[in-house]
Chains A and B, each alone.
Chain A
Amino acid sequence: MQSQDKYRIALLSAYAIAIHSFENLLPTPIPWFRLGIANIITLATLVLYGFRSAMMVTLIRVILSSIFIGTFLGPGFIMSLFGGVSSTAAMGITFSLFPRLFGPVGLSLIGALFHNAAQLFIAYLLFVQQIKAVLIVAPLLILLGTITGVVNGFIGNILIKNIEDK
């Protein structure tokens, strides 16, 4: 890894941590509902600098933000970690298999979907253990994730275009 890449990952991680921590302060109508705006950074990193950089930014973001917020190794951290890793992995695999098929919006939607799916799975395994409760929440979670995913995808698209133009 070249020093320019390291510098880039550090800068992008710093942005992502700032957004993630800020987002955590925002009040939301539903307690577990998050906007996922930090995913914009992951998305832009993936499209511009590749899968490895995106995964690193995600891991740094989730671990460091949780230390700053104070949820490190707690249930929220586990959900956040698995959600972030599987969402980045899903976006990365899709992007490397079909680079031209999906744009940033589609990738963002895939990321949001896998983020939710992973969190539902972890919630089922660790906390709820009632498939019925998980199934009832799933459609609402996927719908909200789709809405935030589209918005994040548009913002990510603008960000990517602006960085590329430079």
Chain B
Amino acid sequence: MRLSGIRRGKKKLTDGMTLADRLLLAALVIISVSGLIFIKEAFPQGTDVRIEVNGKLAYKLPLNNNAIIAVKGIDGDTVVEIKNRKVRITESPCPNKICIHNGWIDRGAIACLPNRVTVFVDSSEGKENKAIDAITG
């Protein structure tokens, strides 16, 4: 196994591949790539958005439906936007606007403490996460 030997072998790299090798390679690539795409589509209902005001559940929405809702907090309306399976707070009456600077999230939570509005992204298993239609006040 000298270096010259390796160089000699390199010229015909694909020579050692049989037809079955190529077919197997193609099949594996197709299966895994389509699997990567399919798996993301297969579990979109796994997560939903839970909005709490003052520690009480105000809204529960699916993460895969785009929506803009105004949540009544103690100081005014906090506007929550759901788009492309992500959530953000776009408007809030709070002084620091920390919640707005948090930007888009797809897991965890954003809290607007002055207005007592907290947005959670939950991953709930089973059928409990049937969408409750939000009615903005």
Which chain B residues in 1-18 approach chain A with CB under 8 Å?
A: 1-2, 5-6, 9-10, 13, 16-18
On chain A, the residues within 8 Å of B2 by CB distance are: 162
Of all chain A residues, which has the CB nearest B125?
A132
Q: Digitize B30-42: 1 where CB-to-A-CB distance is under 8 Å, 0 elsewhere.
A: 0111111011001
Say whether A136 contacts B24, CB under 8 Å: no
> Is A11 part of the binding interface, using a Cβ–Cβ cutoff of 8 Å?
no
Bound together, the chains give a CA A110 to CA B35 distance in angstroms of 18
By a CB distance below 8 angstroms, the chain B residues around A140 are 32, 36
Interface centre among B9, B18, B21 (most CB of A within 10 A): B21
A139 and B35 contacting across the interface, CB-CB below 8 Å: yes
Look across to chain B and name the residue whose beta carbon is closest to the beta carbon of A116.
B32
A139 contacts across to B, CB distance below 8 A: 31-36, 38-39
Chain B residue nearest to A139 in the complex (CB)? B35
Given A102-B18, A106-B21; A135-B28 close (CB under 8 Å): no
A: interface residue count bin: 20 to 34
Chain B proximity of A109: nearest CB distance (Å): 5
CA distance A121 to B48 in the complex (A): 29
Q: Which of B1, B9, B29, B42 is A143 in contact with, Cβ under 8 Å?
A: B29
Q: Is the interface of A mostly helix, strand, loop or mixed?
A: helix
Is A64 part of the contact surface with B, judged by Cβ < 8 Å? Answer: no
B32 with A110: CB separation less than 8 A: no
CB closest chain-B residue, reference A105 = B21
Number of interface residues of B (CB under 8 A): 27
A139–B31 Cα distance when bound, in Å, is: 8
Most buried by A among B6, B18, B24, B42: B24
A161 to B9 CA separation, bound complex (whole angstroms): 8
In the bound complex, residues from chain A placing their C-beta under 8 Å from that of B39 are 135-136, 138-139
User: Which residues of chain A from 130 to 166 have a CB within 8 Å of any chain B CB?
Assistant: 132, 135-136, 138-140, 142-143, 146, 149-150, 153-154, 157-159, 161-163, 165
Question: Which among A110, A136, A163 is the interface contact of B1 at CB below 8 angstroms?
Answer: A163
Could you show 14 A-B contacts with beta carbons less than 8 Å apart?
A102-B21, A104-B16, A105-B25, A106-B25, A109-B28, A132-B46, A138-B39, A142-B31, A142-B32, A142-B35, A143-B35, A154-B13, A154-B16, A158-B6
- Beyond A138-B39, A157-B9, A159-B1, 12 extra complex contacts between A and B, CB < 8 Å: A98-B20, A103-B17, A104-B16, A105-B16, A106-B21, A106-B25, A109-B21, A139-B32, A143-B28, A161-B9, A162-B5, A162-B6
3 shortest interchain CB distances as A-B pairs: A139-B35, A106-B21, A143-B32
